[in-house]
Amino acid sequence: MPQILLLAAGKSSRTWPISEKIFFEIGGKTIFERQIETILAAKIQKIVVVGNAENIEKIKVLSKKFSADFNFAVQKNLDDGIAGGILAAEKKIDDKKPVFVACSNDIVEKSAFEMPQIAAKKSNSEIFLVGKKVENYFPGGYLKLFRGKNGENKNRIQKIVEKPKIGEEPSDLVTLLIHFWKNPKMLFSALKSRKQNENYEEILQKCFDHGVLAEVVKYDDFWSAIKYPWHFLAVGKHFLEKISKTEIHPTAKIGKMASIGDRVVIGKNAKILDGAVIAGPSFIGEKVVVGNGALVRESAVEKNSVVGHGTEIARSFLQKNCWTHQNFVGDSVFAENVSLGAGTRTGNLRLEEGEILSEIKEQKISSNLKKMGTFCGKNVRVGVNTSFMPGVKIGAGTFLGAGLIIDRDIPENRFVKGIFKLSERENKFLVKKRKNF
């Protein structure tokens, strides 16, 4: 049986303001837990997780929930990237068994781990890369394949082209970081022989150039890399779609006038008050309160959160301890402990209904989405009647005053308020007695 080296040490800078993406919860489970479930479903029992100094202890705690052969390693220098992460785990890997190198942020179905094993039994190739056909541009590595006579070697990889310009992609196949090596000794030998500053992709290319046979395994099931904050929307939807039936915990309290739809999960000690509507697929976590006249649809609201009176939560994902009251939250992602004042709204659609752009590291990037709301980091507070333009991001610890229109990203730990000037003069209008109509 193969083993897997799961890389979980990387920084989450591009998903700002949502940090620690492997610990983001969807339906009461973290991304990390869901990844382990997928790996175990593919019958891979030996799992080596590479974390960093800040997250490794939390990873160990979550791993105790599973019956598997876990080992752990710490990548000390994160600037060494994938190559450094792999080398950090060398002593934990059995060099006599084939190994997967996988990223904890590539969300896939179990077939992504099953198909390379099947292909390896039928081929003399040494390395197998999972490739996914994409319709929209993705800033990743594109595969250039050999084109032999009569279609021979049609899956053999010639080159990985990293982040080509739009329109210059060598194919429509993006490589996922799910790489299957028959011989771990070859992997570690190649990495140890690298020159200074050479990355993992460059080492792979050297292997290709020196005649090591590598082929693509074409994968057609769900895939989403969590690279940008809006990818949590796609991943969240994917896991909500796995809810097959309505399940209400026996300790949950459901009002007689509440409406619970199909494919809804309601957790322990949750309260759904009269007039509330929960439309599936949706997840309502432990001790969550959904108030009178509230609507939750195609969303996940995690533990100890409150969906207050008259609030609508649509296609959104709220982490623990979030509070809302008479709000609209659409196509949005909130980290823990976010509170919205009454009347606050998240805009999620441009007036001309075009694709929504977002600024990532001083570059405007298309989300390829026409509906996208607000992304809030931890411990954000928003005053009453504030509005967000589509795609805005709010950094952790920031407080936003009342009556604002937020049309740009706001950094961490800011206090934002509007400057209003009131005019005052004598009232010369007479108060007239109202007539009954």
Dump pLDDT digits (tens) for 155-166: 899 999 998 999
d(CA 346, CA 51): 35
Contact status, residue 215 vs residue 123, Cβ threshold 8 Å? yes
* pLDDT for res 150: 58
Locate CATH 3.90.550.10 in the chain.
3-227
Q: Among the ranges 74-83, 147-156, 390-399, which has the highest mean pLDDT value? A: 390-399
CA–CA distance, 194 with 262 (Å, rounded to integer): 55
When pLDDT is cut at 50, 70 and 90, the band that residue 148 belongs to is low
C-alpha closest to that of 319 among 24, 22, 19: 24
291, two tokens: 């108030």
CATH for 3-227 (3.90.550.10, 3.40.50.620, 3.10.310.10, 3.10.105.10): 3.90.550.10
Q: Which pLDDT score, from 0 to 100, does residue 429 have?
A: 84
pLDDT for position 379:
98
| Chain center to CA of 376 | 14
Please give the pLDDT value at position 299: 98
**Do you find a cis peptide bond into 281, omega within 30 degrees of 0?**
yes
Q: Nearest 5 degrees, angle CA 269-CA 272-CA 274?
A: 145
Q: Is 60 exceeded by the pLDDT of residue 315?
A: yes
Helix, coil or strand: residue 285:
coil
What amino acid is encoded at 197 in this protein?
Answer: N
What's the whole-number mean pLDDT along residues 42-60?
97
Contact indicator for 159, 145 with CB cutoff of 8 Å: no
CB 269 within 8 A of CB 60: no
pLDDT, residue 146, reads 86
Q: What's the pLDDT band for 371 if we cut at 50, 70, 90?
A: very high
Confidence of residue 208 (pLDDT cuts 50, 70, 90): very high
- Please, where in the chain does CATH 2.160.10.10 lie? 238-416
Residue 80 has what DSSP assignment? G
> What's the fold here for domain 238-416?
UDP N-Acetylglucosamine Acyltransferase; domain 1 (2.160.10)
Is pTM beyond 0.85? Reply is yes
Residue carrying structure tokens 């075009």? 354
pLDDT at 340 (0 to 100): 98
Chain centroid offset of residue 106 CA: 9
Instruction: Look at the alpha carbons of 230, 235, 238, 244 in this order and tell me if their dihedral is positive or negative.
Output: negative
At 352, is the pLDDT very low, low, confident or very high (cuts 50, 70, 90)?
very high
Contact, 3 vs 99, CB < 8 A?
yes
pLDDT for res 153:
65
Q: C-alpha dihedral over 119, 123, 128, 129, to 10 degrees?
A: -70
Confidence of residue 193 (pLDDT cuts 50, 70, 90): confident
Position 97: which residue type?
K
- pLDDT tens digit sequence for 407-430: 999 999 999 999 888 889 998 888
Q: Is 13 exposed, middle or buried (0-12, 13-18, 19+ CB in 10 A)?
A: exposed
> In angstroms, rounded to a whole number, what is the distance separating the alpha carbons of residues 247 and 267?
8
Measured at the alpha carbon of residue 94, what is the angle toward residues 111 and 178, in degrees to the nearest 5? 30
Q: If phi over 0 gives left and psi between -120 and 50 gives alpha, with beta otherwise, what is residue 150? A: left
pLDDT at 431: 77
Rounded CA-CA distance 431/271 in Å is 47
Do 160 and 171 contact (CB within 8 A), yes or no? Answer: no
Cα torsion 201, 207, 208, 214 to 10°: value is: -90
Single-letter code of the amino acid located at 375: F
pLDDT tier at 20, thresholds 50, 70, 90: confident
Q: How confident is the model at residue 149 (pLDDT cuts 50, 70, 90)?
A: low
- Answer yes or no: is pLDDT of 7 > 90: yes
Residue 405 burial by CB count (10 A; 0-12/13-18/19+): exposed, middle or buried? Answer: exposed
**Quick one: tokens of 57?**
């202890």
Burial 242-265 (b: 16+ CB within 10 A, else e): ebeebebeeebebeeebebeebbb
The 8-class DSSP code of residue 221 comes to S
Q: Note the pLDDT tens digit of each residue in 254-298.
A: 999 999 999 999 999 999 999 999 999 999 999 999 999 999 999
